[in-house]
Structure 1
C-alpha cells in the first residue's frame, strides 16, 4: 500500500453518532480530520483536529467558509460518509482541486432516472425509473410502469415508499416531498417498478481508477415485513457466493465506469432477476446504515478508511483479513403512537453481540407501517458469526428479548418486536 504523511482531511458532515461514529473513528485513526458542518456534536469532538462551522444548505456559503479556513491551513483531501452530502463534497473537491468525482457525475448518480438513461444508452442492464416533479406526473408514471411501484427522494436518502394504488402514490409523494424541501440539491422524486422477481442486493465497491473497480462485499437486504420497501436489516458474509459471480462483478464495474465515476467508494443496488442482474442505483458514496461496519466485521476491510485514502491520493489496502459474517437488525414500531416503554435485558456479555443501540426515547412519537422511516427506528443491533445463517439466528435471539410498548392514540398500549 502506498502511503503518504498524515495530511489533514476535510470531512463534510458529522452525521449521527449511532450510524456514523464508526466511520469517523476509522478516518480519524489515519488522518487529522477537519469537520465542515453547522455545529460540532459533542460525540465527534474528540476525533477532530479542527472545524469549519457553516450550514450545509448553501453550497456558496460552504465554499466561502472553507476557502477562508484554507487561507491559514492546508488539507490533503475531502470526504463525506453521508450520501446526502456527496454532491456538495464533489463541488468542494472540484473547487479546491482535490481528488474526487465530478459534481455532474455525482448529480447523475443521485438522479436514478437520468442515471438509468445513461446506462441504457450504453446497454447496461437496469430497472425502469421515472423522474417526476409533481403528483400528476407521479400518477402517470405509476400507471405506465404498472403497480406496485416504489417512490424515492434520491437527494435525501430516505427509505423507499411502496404504493399499490393511486391514493398511495399521492400519500407517498406528499411524504417524500416534505422530507426533501430542506435539501439544497433535492429537485425530483423517482418512481420505479418493483414487481420484478428476485432479491435486491447491495454491492460495496472501490473505484481505484477509471479502469479498476474492485468489489469488496455483497450486502444482503431483509425487507420490513409489511408492504413498504424499507430494510429491516442487512448482512455481509465473507463466503457469499455472489462475491465470485463474474456477471455481477462486471455489471457493477460497467455501471460505475459508464456513469463516469473515477475514484472513491461506491454502493450499487442490484436486482437479481430471472433475466439476469439489473442495476437499480449507484451511489457515489459509502453505504449508510452501518453497512461499512458490517464489511469491517465480516471481511476486515474498512470502507471509510479506504475512502479517506483515495481522497488524499493514496492507494488503500483492500486485502481481506477476516472470513466471517456480520448482520444488523433495525427495530421498527409495530404501530403509530407514543413510546411508553423500551426494555432490553443485559445482553452485552455475549461475545458475538457487537453493539445494541436505542435510537428512540420514551415519550417520543413514532409512525408505524407502512409510513415508518429511518427516523422511526427504535433500536438496532449488530451481531457477528461464522456465516449469514448463524447471524440470522443470533439476530432473532436478541429480538426475543427486546420490548417496546407504544400507546396508540385513544387506545391502550401495544407491544412491538
Structure 2
C-alpha cells in the first residue's frame, strides 16, 4: 500500500511520547493520521499528516466543525482514541460523521456506575457496588458488604483515587482520599464515589477487539500492584501463550460483559479479578490499555493492538493471528521519598542485560516527584521493559534495570 492509498484516520489526543509513540508509529504504517490535540503537537509530527489544535477537547462543537471540514476535503475512514477522557468525544464525532462509534456504549464504559448497572441487569459476575454520597452512607454500605471494601471515583482512570479500606476505622481517611480527588483542567469536577465489595485474587487485564459483535482477546496483562492500600499498578507481565486467552470462563465473562454494555465494535481494556469465587469484572474501558500493555502484547504475541483498534474503528476485520510466544514485562520506578527533587537521573548502560528492551526517563532534573499516594502515575520517574522466553528472565532483567537506575537528589 502506497502512502497516498492509506485510509485517513482521525485520532483524538496523543499522550506522553514515552508511553504512546509506538502507537502512532504503528498507525502510520497503514494509515494517514490526522491528530486532534489540546494546544499543539511536537514529537507527533513524525507520524501524522495533519494536526488541529483546540483550546479544550472537552468542548465537542469545535471538534465537530473541524472534523466536518476535514471530511469535506477527503473521506475519513474512522475515529480513534486511546485517551480515556476522550472516549465520549471520539464516539460522538464518529456518530456525527456516520462512522463506527456508539456514544451510548462508550458512556456505559466511561461511567463505572453505569457499567455496574448494565452488568447487574444482565447477571454478569462482578463485585457488589453502590454509589455513595457521604461518609455516613459509605459506612452503612460498607457494613452491609463487609470489610475490606474498595472506594473509587466513577469516571477516572489509571487507578486515581482507588483505595482498599481494611476496617471501619480506616474508612474516614479512605473517604477523604477518594472524595478529595480533582480533575486537572476541570475545576468544577467532583468525583462520584463508588463503594465496592472487595474481590480477592490476582488482578488481570484483557485487551480485546470486537468486530461486528465478535470478541477476540488479544493479550492478557498480569498486573503487579504496589503501595498498599492504594491500588497502584507498578508493572505488568504479558505471556504470549497465556492460557487465559482461551479460558472458557474468561472468554464467556468478556462476551457477557460486552453484550450487556452493547459494545459491538472497537477495542476494550477489561480489568478482571480471578477471585476465590470465580472471575469478576472490575471495569470495562472503551479503549486499548495503558501502562505499555499493548506494546508488551505486540512484543509477546506479534499482534498489534493499535492496528486492531484502527481496523475496528474503520469497519475492517482486524488481524488477530499471533506469530510468537514470548514473555514481555514492564516495571515503573518511583522515588524512595516524597517530594524528591531530581538533580540527575539515568540508567547505567553497563548494568542493563540483553533482555531489557526499552528504558525511559519520565523525570528531568529539577522535577519534584513523590511515591504514592502523593504521586500515582505522575510520581513515576522511569520505566523499563523486558522481553524473554520466561517470566523469571524478565523479572531478573527488570531487577537489574532497577539496580542500574541512578537518581541523585
Same fold (TM over 0.5): yes
SS at match of 1:44: helix
Shift of 1:208: 1.5
- Structure 1 residues 232-241 or 295-304, which shifts more? 232-241
Cα distance in 2 between the residues matched to 1:277 and 1:402? 37
What are the residue-to-residue correspondences of 1:10-409 with 2, within 5 Å? 10-54=10-54, 55-100=56-101, 102-132=102-132, 137-138=137-138, 140-160=140-160, 161-164=162-165, 165-176=170-181, 178-179=182-183, 182=186, 188-194=192-198, 196-210=199-213, 212-340=214-342, 341-346=344-349, 350-406=353-409
Cα distance in 2 between the residues matched to 1:168 and 1:162? 10
- Structure 1 residues 49-58 or 21-30, which shifts more? 49-58
Shift of 1:313: 1.6
Cα distance in 1 between the residues matched to 2:187 and 2:390? 39
Distance 1:347 1:305, change over 3 A: farther
- Residue 411 of structure 1 aligns with which residue? none
Cα distance in 2 between the residues matched to 1:63 and 1:322? 41
Shift of 1:389: 2.2
Cα distance in 1 between the residues matched to 2:183 and 2:124? 31
Distance 1:166 1:181, change over 3 A: farther
- Report if aligned partners of 1:150, 1:163 keep a CA contact under 8 Å in 2: yes
- Residue 414 of structure 1 aligns with which residue? none
SS at match of 1:400: helix
Cα distance in 2 between the residues matched to 1:84 and 1:137? 28
SS at match of 1:261: coil
Cα distance in 1 between the residues matched to 2:191 and 2:178? 13
Cα distance in 1 between the residues matched to 2:125 and 2:179? 31
Q: TM-score under structure 2 normalisation? A: 0.90
Q: TM-score under structure 1 normalisation? A: 0.89
Distance 1:275 1:234, change over 3 A: same
Deviations 1:92-147 (A, max 9, x none): 111111112x1111111122222122112211111122334566655554454444
Cα distance in 2 between the residues matched to 1:43 and 1:94? 29
- Residue 409 of structure 1 aligns with which residue? none
Shift of 1:251: 0.7
Distance 1:130 1:185, change over 3 A: same
Cα distance in 1 between the residues matched to 2:400 and 2:173? 35
- Structure 1 residues 326-335 or 138-147, which shifts more? 138-147
Deviations 1:314-362 (A, max 9, x none): 1111100111010000002222113234242015974322210110123
Distance 1:181 1:153, change over 3 A: farther
- Report if aligned partners of 2:58, 2:89 keep a CA contact under 8 Å in 1: no
Distance 1:74 1:392, change over 3 A: same
Shift of 1:31: 0.2
Distance 1:154 1:292, change over 3 A: farther
Distance 1:360 1:134, change over 3 A: farther
| Structure 2 stretches lacking a partner, 5+ long | none
Deviations 1:51-89 (A, max 9, x none): 222230212222223223333332111111222211110
Shift of 1:213: 0.7
Cα distance in 1 between the residues matched to 2:61 and 2:268? 26
CA RMSD in angstroms comes to: 2.3
Higher relative contact order (CA 8 A, sep 6+): 1
Distance 1:241 1:389, change over 3 A: farther
- Report if aligned partners of 1:23, 1:81 keep a CA contact under 8 Å in 2: no
Aligned residue pair count: 399
- Structure 1 residues 251-260 or 185-194, which shifts more? 185-194
SS at match of 2:183: helix
Cα distance in 2 between the residues matched to 1:374 and 1:264? 26
Shift of 1:227: 2.1
